[in-house]
Structure 1
Amino acid sequence: MASVRATTTLKGHHAIHAELFRDEARRIEALYDSVDPNTGSSSIPNDDKTKHRAFCMNSIVSTACFLEATVNSLYWEIWDDIRLINDGKDPIHYPDKTEFRQNIEEAELNPEQGQKKLTNRLDNAGIFAKYNIFLDANRFDEFEKDSTPAEPVARVLDIRNELVHFEPRRIEGGEKDYTENEYGIEEQLDGRFDLNPLIPSGNAFFPSQCMSYGCAEWALRVSKGFVRQFSIRIDLQIHPDLPLPS
């Protein structure tokens, strides 16, 4: 019986999930676009508020999953091509990228003095670092974390980390015209997207006002832009929905 060789990758699924959750958040916000959250938010059913927050939170988490699944798939596909060649077969993922295969093997087998082997570096790397490790191994300029397109993605990952590893904070309520910074991310996010229109402005910025369609849309947009810029830098389309410019 002939064996069937199949591979599952979730990079496309996570992006689709992020879009679905984002669009559901927009749908709920549109139902109450004429409600003044300062005076009429109590008229919004709690069930819709709960669903809205769930959609926003899951869109952000799925966006972060999209970022990691995409770069993880890139490494796996290159290693799979290397395995195929070692088995006497033709590479199927990136047949024209001989230099990538050679550089990845070199980074794994012959690390520079004092530098961990590639797999060790990746095992201890965050999502953003995995992209830069690939650039470093292939002698491309790395992304500066404090500059576009990487800086907005770092903020997306900050939100994701706060959601996944959430710890309560004591936050001052009431009317105020400033943004408190209890979670260390509020000031960096201020003004980047529209806030949650279902929540009165006196509520805490994070997570209450931050969880909005605007936040979910911004997070997915800047994350896709980052992956596209990474693809342009290495001249390789690594996500099916983000083609290189012609």
Structure 2
Amino acid sequence: MSIRFWRSNLSDGSVEIMCRLAMKTYYSIQHLKSSYLLLEESRKIEFSDFSELEGVEKSELSSRNLAFVTGAIFSTIAFIEASINELLSDISQNDDRVKTLPKDNKKAIKDLWDKEDRGSLEKWSTLKKYQKTLELLDKEEFDETSELFENVSLLIELRNTLMHFKPEWNSIHSPYMSENDNQHRLTSKLEGKFELSIFFRSTGNPFFPNKCMGYGCAVWALKNAIMFVDEFYIRIGMETNYDHVRKRL
């Protein structure tokens, strides 16, 4: 919160003290909370005993679970994207939060962020924003071949695929596993990284989206997102603005 006082001289010779209150919201924190709350709802479903449910009731529970997992993944990527945008905005406004960062480096970032053409840093892709910010702060950039960076890149690809979904025909096989051929492109990239959805892991349904979109995927997504943003803040020598939330997750 920001508080500003000033005095105003009135026509009758008296002085009036004025006060202005302002506040700034960091919505990345809400995205983080949302992701955790949604995956917790998925956990309650997947770890419950629904063995006696059949037909429509089981299908509705599966659909409810899918809604929570999808929302958690969307919120997780929103957390990553909002985190870097909020920091760059604070640098542009020379906010007290970034006062420990070198002045000349901040100016270089501000100049690139404030550009009014397509070259503005604001218009860059999310991961390029993180890398360019590290470069301009003279900090080590992420190794783009590292598991963490590749996982976050996959998360963004997963979110984009869900957001701009295009239906396609995928093979189904025995009651126990999907065929390896004619599967969604994300199958080879994501398979084996997390536990499959309890609703489909023993079925012949395709890996994506059926087996993929479960509690395990949502947990994997949030863990990698937090590790990535944590590591970014470590590299620039700043504390995160969500430590108070982390303790309650």
Q: TM-score range by the shorter chain?
A: 0.7 to 0.9
Aligned counterpart in structure 1 of residue 76 of structure 2, from 63, 66, 69:
63
Q: What's the secondary structure of 1:31's corresponding residue? A: coil
The count of aligned residue pairs is 224
Match of 2:225 in 1: 223
Q: Give the structure 2 partner of residue 125 of structure 1.
A: 124
Structure 2 spans left out of the alignment, 5+ residues: 1-17
What amino acid is aligned across from residue 93 of structure 1 in structure 2? Answer: R
> Is the 8 Å Cα contact of residues 196 and 209 (structure 1) preserved in structure 2?
yes
- What is the match of residue 19 of structure 1? 36
Q: TM-score, normalised by structure 1?
A: 0.81
CA distance in 1, matches of 2:116, 2:149: 25
Give the C-alpha shift of residue 47 in structure 1: 1.9
For 2:228 and 2:168, the matched residues in 1 are separated by 31
Tell me the SS of whatever aligns to 1:32: coil
Structure 2: distance between partners of 1:148 and 1:193: 14
The aligned residue for residue 14 of structure 2 is none
Shift of 1:121: 4.2
CA offsets per residue over residues 117-169 of structure 1, 9 Å max, x none? 99834233222111111011112222122213211111111111111111111
Query: After superposition, where does 1:95-134 map in structure 2 within 5 Å?
Result: 95-97=99-101, 99=102, 101-109=103-111, 120-134=119-133
Amino acid at match of 1:230: F
Structure 1 residues 133 and 110: alpha-carbon distance in aligned structure 2, compared to 1, 3 A threshold: closer
**Equivalent residue for 1:88?**
none
CA drift at 1:240: 2.0
One-letter amino acid of the structure 2 residue matched with residue 185 of structure 1: L
Q: In the alignment, which residue of structure 2 is the partner of 1:208? A: 210
| Greater RCO structure (CA 8 Å; 6+ sep) | 1
Q: Which blocks of at least 5 consecutive residues in structure 1 are unaligned?
A: 82-90
Q: What secondary structure sits across from 1:174 in the alignment?
A: coil
Query: Residues 108 and 30 of structure 1: is their aligned pair in 2 closer, same or farther, counting only changes over 3 Å?
Result: closer
Q: RMSD between aligned alpha carbons?
A: 2.7
Does the 8 A contact of 2:170 with 2:182 survive in 1? no
Q: Secondary structure at the match of 2:243?
A: coil
Identity of aligned residues (%): 28
Residues 37-63 of structure 1 show CA distances to partners (whole Å, capped at 9, x for unaligned) of xxx864852221111000000100100
1:119 and 1:74 map into 2 onto residues whose CA distance is 20
